[in-house]
A and B are shown apart, each in its own frame.
Chain A
């Protein structure tokens, strides 16, 4: 399919086709849930949130709320017909409405249903709730000190004799690192609209990455079977993991209210409530001991990853697991012990966020490398290279999977050259040595990211394809569209399979009514899984068409070929719609359900061994920064990226993921600071105080290249690789470059922990000089 330059309007596979909704996006006509025409009589819900971090509820008087103008109903835990729980892992620790006690500041206690959104919001403040305060812990180091419980079972990965290897290593360092959390700041906030149907039925429009889970949760909360609930989503205005489980509560509230009142109910929290009441990226406290030698080769790593999980488990188990899975980043640790500590805290329950714990592991690995390089007075890149996974004997991860597809050596050497890393670094080192207020830094960091859900059963997907009599195709699959271009990619697969133009394939909203029991669109796996499922469905239909055409035109089956534009049958070329009409008249079944499950992966959590990942995606970035050592302010001047997406299904979309992921990672590591006060209140709960990158903050020189030579050795959809999460971790290069710049102020290691706000950079400069 690569031969010849295909016009992009044809939408061939591997072409840079525009996002399927791009035209609607620029015209302002793309419909998000809040844009849908509200059915007559739609009511609006608003949550009442806890005003204590940890307290018993001793009294609750909602009468003034109920009497407020425009209020139709007030719902509390007592009004939930089924289970008061939306725990995605079945732990029964995630109430829809707090009952008896509250466990974080901002926890939902009740909901007001009003004729208008404004009426509901105003009424909320009339609630009178009496609390008896209990001791609260918001910080993970306090949680460790006071030995608070784990919210979920911790994990240990180990290989080799760690104590002996640490003792025998010629050099050793011990350290502690804090890694900040991150709010998703999807521009479209959480939203759900529930429309009641007959009997127990309800239709929920939910901005979710996981319609099947919302369906099951809503059914659980309503106390009805799953077949009464249909969940649908056409598109989200961003999600990034923040809509993997966090939409459950909103959908449940809307559904309970809709069924109770017999009217459609919409719930859309304002930005502040959204940021206060929904989970974020986990922040971590990492304690590490590393044994290494004079060449900078690592002998042993012993590390503990403690995470602020919040009041409930949510996805903290798999998130903290994945932090361990990526605590090696791209490096071989001959002896290793990695332990997770998923700590309970009185904060909102942290959740999935692009990278799913992996980025925190990667950042810790890069910190260890930088610290070794500092101790040895070497370029950190040399230390990185000395520790890459390599030949047999140096190719096994801490979870006992062998790394067989490592392309980092080639990737790094190409990037070193194209970015002029060595010349630029030499020049920067020389300039910093001359002193001055402005210091510069440059760093090249790699990423190796394991692709697959570590919960092996999630690695399955379904699709539904219909071909209508006119040859147009209806495509549906379990993946959701959050801006990542999944729908476009999967439609390209379908169009390619039949040899028809992309505009003959109708991409339809994800709905639990068409494809059941789907997995979250997450773990970067959307195209891998749904592309394969769609291909399976298309191939079933194609096989039936092939058999039919072979018989009708009396040619061998291998002479029926679906070419772009037409189907070749023997010497004849038949237009696709004509073939379909003929097949219909001959009673050929023109619809198919496709299915896919990732082969060859397995994971034994208790043993800490297995092959949890189908393959790895790789990338590397060079970032250059300038800091003002008097204020800590900085500029990221230039970034060069070389990223591996295998054989790209759509280079325009993949490049967008790389750029956007990098900048989002840069925000996480630099300006985005979550800050809780002593009372346990999140004080950075709006864009006025929580700073994501702006157009004026991003690098002026931003060279992004896809490694065109890469082809996935694993049998993925057309040998492409997943791209959603891995690029986020390329931003480690920004943090490391800032660390180098700050470190140039003195002889000491600057210990620059993310987020590297200007304040943190200023303090790192002080530490380099020998300050605290």
Chain B
């Protein structure tokens, strides 16, 4: 099958890759680019483990073709921290022990950061419904919601 040449920006870096026409962005990230922080939980857009941002919008990378990334800016979990310096929301996940097995964590962090990039004043209900596309089977979510609320408060300087 002929390969498609795609030019995109991932976490701010100009990136080119070749992918098959049927390959999802998730496949490309994990299998071609070695960016395995983005996970597959269902492959059908129902779990959020594969969350990335495309031009700032939260997207399930399992529902998008790799070829569709052409000309767009992709954000993944690998770009949430700046080098060794964790993003405040990552730190809060640590402080609140908001993870157990950790496999949902990258998706939650990408989703939470996308929310916080829009607003630093989310209500708890907004946080809960914003994150309702991300499944976690381990934690029961309470600590995750607290961590996100706490991050928003800190970023507001409250």
For this complex, into which size category does the number of interface residues on chain B fall?
Answer: 35 or more
Output the nearest chain A residue to B142 by Cβ-Cβ distance.
A702
Interface contact B94-A26, CB-CB below 8 Å: yes
Q: Which residues of chain A from 628 to 677 have a CB within 8 Å of any chain B CB? A: 652-653, 655-656, 659-664
Interface of A is mostly: loop
Determine if A57 is an interface residue (Cβ-Cβ < 8 Å).
no
Determine if B33 is an interface residue (Cβ-Cβ < 8 Å).
no
Interface contact A664-B140, CB-CB below 8 Å: yes
Complex formed: what's the CA distance from A688 to B135 in Å?
12
Determine if A531 is an interface residue (Cβ-Cβ < 8 Å).
no
Determine if A485 is an interface residue (Cβ-Cβ < 8 Å).
yes
Complex formed: what's the CA distance from A341 to B78 in Å?
51
Contact with A along B128-153 (1 / 0, CB 8 A): 11011011111111111100000000
Determine if A16 is an interface residue (Cβ-Cβ < 8 Å).
yes
Interface contact B109-A695, CB-CB below 8 Å: no
From A30, A662, A663, A700, give the contact of B102 (CB < 8 A): A30
User: Chain B contacts of A22 at CB under 8 A?
Assistant: 93-94, 97, 99, 102
User: Chain B contacts of A702 at CB under 8 A?
Assistant: 140, 142
Determine if B63 is an interface residue (Cβ-Cβ < 8 Å).
no
User: Chain B contacts of A184 at CB under 8 A?
Assistant: 137
What is the distance, in angstroms, from A490's C-beta to the closest C-beta of chain B?
16
Determine if A567 is an interface residue (Cβ-Cβ < 8 Å).
no
Contact with B along A505-532 (1 / 0, CB 8 A): 0000000000000000000000000000
Interface contact A483-B106, CB-CB below 8 Å: no
Binding-face segment, A185-193, A296-304, A380-388? A185-193
Interface contact B101-A238, CB-CB below 8 Å: yes
Interface contact B145-A695, CB-CB below 8 Å: yes
Number of A-B contacts (CB under 8 A): 170
User: Chain A contacts of B47 at CB under 8 A?
Assistant: 187, 687
Determine if B155 is an interface residue (Cβ-Cβ < 8 Å).
no
Interface contact B109-A188, CB-CB below 8 Å: no
Interface contact A660-B138, CB-CB below 8 Å: yes
Interface contact A483-B141, CB-CB below 8 Å: no
Output the nearest chain B residue to A17 by Cβ-Cβ distance.
B97
From B42, B102, B104, B129, give the contact of A19 (CB < 8 A): B102
Complex formed: what's the CA distance from A16 to B103 in Å?
21
- Knowing A28-B37, A656-B143, A662-B140 touch, does A694 contact B135 (C-beta < 8 A)? yes
Interface contact B42-A27, CB-CB below 8 Å: no
Interface contact A235-B101, CB-CB below 8 Å: yes
Complex formed: what's the CA distance from A238 to B103 in Å?
8
User: Chain B contacts of A662 at CB under 8 A?
Assistant: 140
Determine if A24 is an interface residue (Cβ-Cβ < 8 Å).
yes
For the complex with contacts A237-B101, A661-B140, A704-B142, 19 further pairs of A-B residues with Cβ separation under 8 Å are A18-B97, A19-B99, A22-B94, A26-B86, A187-B104, A188-B39, A238-B100, A652-B97, A660-B100, A662-B140, A664-B137, A687-B135, A688-B46, A693-B140, A694-B132, A694-B135, A695-B128, A696-B131, A700-B124
Nearest 9 Cβ contacts at the A-B interface? A28-B37, A483-B101, A25-B102, A237-B103, A663-B140, A28-B77, A483-B100, A687-B46, A35-B36
